[in-house]
Chains A and B, each alone.
Chain A
C-alpha cells in the first residue's frame, strides 16, 4: 500500500443488529451477575494481567455485548481474584471469567 503519511482508522461504528451476542447471552444465563456491572473500572485498575494482555473485566463485558472477540484479553488472566475483591457491585468476577472460558468457542466468533 502506498504510504500517504496518514492513515484512516477502521470505522468504529457499532452495528448492534449485526453483532453476534450468542456468547454474551450464554454467559448471562450462567452468570446473571454479569448484568450488574456498572463499568466503574475498579477491576481494570487492579488487574495483574492488564499490562500484558489488556485484561479488564469491564472491557470484556463491554466487548461481549458488542459481539467482539475477547480471547486475547482473557488469555492472561491469572485468576488472582483482585478484581473480585474490589468490585463495588459484588460481582464474582473470577467465576464469571471461569464460566466464560468454559463456554468459549473460538469457532463461533471471529
Chain B
C-alpha cells in the first residue's frame, strides 16, 4: 500500500496551494507587463531568440549555471558559492525528485501539484523497494545539502566577515520575513518528514530519529503541527517573494533570455532595466568592490542600493545615486547577475529635463577638416591629454622615431569625443559631437586613428561609425610598432606597477598590450588588485557630483593598492589617471608612451 490517504487531500496543503496560485499569477502578470514595456522591435527579437535553437540552448545552459549552480559566484567566493548553490540546486533537485516519486509510485496523482512537495505525508512504506529507498536516500541527501546551505546563510547573516565580505546590505522588513520563512522551510520539512518516517519510510537523515521517536512516544507522535508549519512557512515565503529580494529568482530567469536575445537598456525604468533591477538579490558583493565605498558615507550609493531605490521609486535618492557613481564598471564586473549598474545610471541621467541644451551647430569645423587631411595616420589626443602634454609630447617623439607620417587632429583645438556628455545622459548633444568628429576623420582619408585617452577610445570604438578606419589606443599602436621591429626597446631597471584604467581595461578589454610594453621597457610588478578587479583612480568623469575631497580618498586607496609590492614608479595609460595619481602619489607616475619613449630607439 503506497497511497495512504484515499482523498489525496488534507487541509494543511491549503496555505501552500494558496501561495503557489498567488505567486504564479503574479509572475504571469509581471511577465506580460514587462513584455508590453519593450519596444516592438525588442519584443520581436526576444520572441525570435526564444525559438532559435542556439539561443534557446544557451538560455537553458545559462539559467542552469547561474540560477542553480551559481558558477560565477563559485569563482569569486567558494563559501558563498556553496551556500547559494546548495540551497538553489538542492531545492531544485528536491522538487524534481519529488515529481519523479509521484510519477513512479502514484502516477494518478500527478495532476495534484502539491503532491510532490508533501509526498511523504501521503504515502506509506514507499521506501520498501530498492528504487524507493534509493529515491529516499537522494531526497535526504539533497535535504541535507539545503540544510547545510541554510546553516551557512545563518552564519553569514551574523558574521559576514567569515565569508570575506566586509560589508553587506541591511535587509528591509519584508526581506527579513522572507529570510526567516526561508530559513524555517527546510528544518520544518526535515522534522515533518522525520515524524512521518515510520509510516512513509525514510533514509539516513529521517529514519534513525524516527525509530527513536517511535520507541519513546509510540503512536503519539505529533505529526500534524509540523506539516502545517511546513506548509505555512512555504506559503509565507512564496507570498512575500514578489515584494522581497527573493523576486530575483523569477526575475533572473527572465533576465537571462533577454540578455541572450541581445536586448539593450533603452528606458530608465521599463523593460530590461526593470528586469535587471528586480534581478538583484541584494547580495552586496558590489559594496566591497565599489571604489566609492572607501568612504563610509558613499556605501549607500553602490549599485545594490540603486536597485533598491529604483524598486521603491525614491526619485531623490535615485538621482543622487545615479549622479555620484564613477561609472567605473567594477560592480558590473563582479555582479553575479551582471546588473549593468553604470548603464542603468546613465539611463536615469538621460531622463532629466534641461532648460538650456547645448547646441554646436554654430561651430565651423571646416578648418579642422582641412587640417586633418593628408596622412594615413590621424592622432587624436583628446581633452584630457591636453592637460597632460607629457603624453602627447612622448607620442610625437615616438611617431618621429618610428618614421610615421601623421596628422594631429586636435593640436590646435577641436571637439570633445562626446563621452562626458554621453555619460551625463545628454545623448543628443553627444550625437552632435560624434557627427562632427566623424566628418573630420572620414574626410581626412586616414586609415588609422590613434587615441591617447581610453575615454575617447571607448567612445570611438562603440559609438562612432568609421568604416575602414582602424581605431587603436596608443598602447596597442606602440605595441604593434615594437612587435614589428619599427621601435626597439631597451629594458630598463625601474620597477613599475601598471594601473589598468577603467575605460581601457574593464571598458574595452585591453589588458595585454600595455603590460607587454611595460614588461619590455622595464621591470613590472603586480598591484594588489589587477585587471577586472582594479579600482578606479578616482578622477573619472563618470561621476557628476563627487567632490574633490571624496575623490581624494578614492585615489589614495587606489594608490595604496598599487604600492603593495613596492614598485619604484606607477605606469598607466590614461591621461586622467596620470593627472589624478600625480596629485597624491609619492612615486613618480608615467604614461606608457613616456616609458616607451625613454626606453626606445627608432630602427636605423
Q: Write the residues of chain A forming the contact surface with B, with a CB cutoff of 8 angstroms.
A: 46, 48, 51-53, 71, 74-82, 85-86, 90, 92, 94-95, 98, 100-106
Instruction: Check if B544 sits within 8 Å of A98, measured CB to CB.
Output: yes
Instruction: Check if A75 sits within 8 Å of B359, measured CB to CB.
Output: yes
For A76, list chain B residues within 8 Å (CB).
358-360, 362-363
| Best-surrounded residue of A46, A74, A77 (most CB of chain B within 10 A) | A77
**Which of B111-119, B383-391, B467-475, B484-492 makes up part of the contact surface?**
B383-391
For B152, list chain A residues within 8 Å (CB).
none
Taking chain B's interface residues, is the majority helix, strand, or loop, or is none over half, making it mixed? loop
Instruction: Check if A74 sits within 8 Å of B544, measured CB to CB.
Output: no
Least CB distance from A8 to B in Å reads 29
Instruction: Check if A74 sits within 8 Å of B579, measured CB to CB.
Output: no
| B337-359 contact mask (Cβ, 8 Å, vs A): 1 or 0 | 00000000000000011111111
Instruction: Check if B545 sits within 8 Å of A92, measured CB to CB.
Output: yes
Query: Which residue of chain A lies nearest to B575 when distances are taken between CB atoms in the complex?
Result: A85
Instruction: Check if B421 sits within 8 Å of A79, measured CB to CB.
Output: yes
Instruction: Check if B433 sits within 8 Å of A94, measured CB to CB.
Output: no
Least CB distance from B582 to A in Å reads 11
User: B17 within 8 Å of A by Cβ?
Assistant: no
Instruction: Check if B544 sits within 8 Å of A80, measured CB to CB.
Output: no
**Which of B201-209, B412-420, B505-513 makes up part of the contact surface?**
B412-420
Instruction: Check if B424 sits within 8 Å of A98, measured CB to CB.
Output: yes
Instruction: Check if A79 sits within 8 Å of B424, measured CB to CB.
Output: yes
For B416, list chain A residues within 8 Å (CB).
48, 78-80
- 26 example contacts (A-B, Cβ-Cβ < 8 A) are as follows A48-B413, A48-B416, A71-B356, A75-B359, A76-B362, A77-B358, A78-B358, A78-B420, A79-B358, A79-B420, A79-B421, A79-B426, A79-B429, A80-B384, A81-B420, A81-B541, A82-B383, A82-B387, A85-B579, A92-B544, A92-B548, A102-B353, A103-B355, A104-B354, A104-B356, A105-B355
Contact A85 to B355, CB < 8 A, known contacts A76-B362, A79-B420, A98-B424 = no
For A81, list chain B residues within 8 Å (CB).
383-384, 420, 541
Instruction: Check if B386 sits within 8 Å of A46, measured CB to CB.
Output: yes
Instruction: Check if B579 sits within 8 Å of A95, measured CB to CB.
Output: no
Cα(A51)–Cα(B549), bound, Å: 31
User: B547 within 8 Å of A by Cβ?
Assistant: yes
The 8 Å CB contact of A74, one of B356, B363, B418, B433, is B356
Query: Which residue of chain B lies nearest to A81 when distances are taken between CB atoms in the complex?
Result: B541
Query: Which residue of chain A lies nearest to B541 when distances are taken between CB atoms in the complex?
Result: A81
Cα(A80)–Cα(B355), bound, Å: 20
Instruction: Check if B547 sits within 8 Å of A102, measured CB to CB.
Output: no
The 8 Å CB contact of B362, one of A53, A86, A103, is A53
Query: Which residue of chain A lies nearest to B539 when distances are taken between CB atoms in the complex?
Result: A85
Instruction: Check if B356 sits within 8 Å of A95, measured CB to CB.
Output: no
Least CB distance from B166 to A in Å reads 29
Interface residues in B374-405 (C-beta closer than 8 Å to A): 383-384, 386-387
For B357, list chain A residues within 8 Å (CB).
101
Query: Which residue of chain A lies nearest to B349 when distances are taken between CB atoms in the complex?
Result: A98
Cα(A76)–Cα(B184), bound, Å: 61
Cα(A2)–Cα(B420), bound, Å: 50
Cα(A103)–Cα(B356), bound, Å: 8
10 tightest A-B contacts by CB?
Answer: A104-B356, A104-B355, A78-B416, A90-B548, A80-B383, A80-B416, A79-B420, A101-B356, A101-B354, A81-B541
Query: Which residue of chain A lies nearest to B580 when distances are taken between CB atoms in the complex?
Result: A85
Query: Which residue of chain A lies nearest to B544 when distances are taken between CB atoms in the complex?
Result: A95
For A74, list chain B residues within 8 Å (CB).
356, 358
Cα(A80)–Cα(B385), bound, Å: 12
Cα(A94)–Cα(B414), bound, Å: 19
| Best-surrounded residue of B418, B548, B579 (most CB of chain A within 10 A) | B548
Cα(A28)–Cα(B342), bound, Å: 29
The 8 Å CB contact of B356, one of A46, A53, A75, A80, is A75
Least CB distance from A41 to B in Å reads 16
Known: A78-B418, A78-B421, A86-B387. 17 other contacts (CB 8 A): A46-B386, A46-B387, A52-B363, A75-B358, A75-B359, A76-B358, A78-B433, A79-B429, A80-B420, A81-B420, A85-B384, A92-B547, A92-B548, A100-B356, A101-B356, A102-B355, A103-B355
For A102, list chain B residues within 8 Å (CB).
352-355
For A95, list chain B residues within 8 Å (CB).
323, 544-545
For A98, list chain B residues within 8 Å (CB).
354, 424, 544
For A79, list chain B residues within 8 Å (CB).
358, 416, 420-421, 424, 426, 429
Cα(A74)–Cα(B548), bound, Å: 23
Instruction: Check if A52 sits within 8 Å of B362, measured CB to CB.
Output: yes
Least CB distance from B368 to A in Å reads 11
For A48, list chain B residues within 8 Å (CB).
383, 413-416
Cα(A103)–Cα(B307), bound, Å: 28
Cα(A85)–Cα(B555), bound, Å: 14
Cα(A75)–Cα(B356), bound, Å: 8
Least CB distance from B3 to A in Å reads 70
For B548, list chain A residues within 8 Å (CB).
90, 92
Query: Which residue of chain A lies nearest to B546 when distances are taken between CB atoms in the complex?
Result: A92
Cα(A75)–Cα(B355), bound, Å: 11
For B353, list chain A residues within 8 Å (CB).
102
Interface residues in B533-551 (C-beta closer than 8 Å to A): 539, 541, 544-549
Query: Which residue of chain B lies nearest to A50 when distances are taken between CB atoms in the complex?
Result: B413
The 8 Å CB contact of A101, one of B355, B384, B415, B546, is B355
For B541, list chain A residues within 8 Å (CB).
80-81, 94
For B362, list chain A residues within 8 Å (CB).
52-53, 75-76
Query: Which residue of chain A lies nearest to B545 when distances are taken between CB atoms in the complex?
Result: A95
Query: Which residue of chain B lies nearest to A53 when distances are taken between CB atoms in the complex?
Result: B362
Cα(A94)–Cα(B544), bound, Å: 7
Cα(A86)–Cα(B541), bound, Å: 14
Least CB distance from B539 to A in Å reads 8
For B323, list chain A residues within 8 Å (CB).
95
Cα(A78)–Cα(B433), bound, Å: 9
Cα(A95)–Cα(B576), bound, Å: 18
For A52, list chain B residues within 8 Å (CB).
360, 362-363
Query: Which residue of chain A lies nearest to B576 when distances are taken between CB atoms in the complex?
Result: A85
Least CB distance from B359 to A in Å reads 5
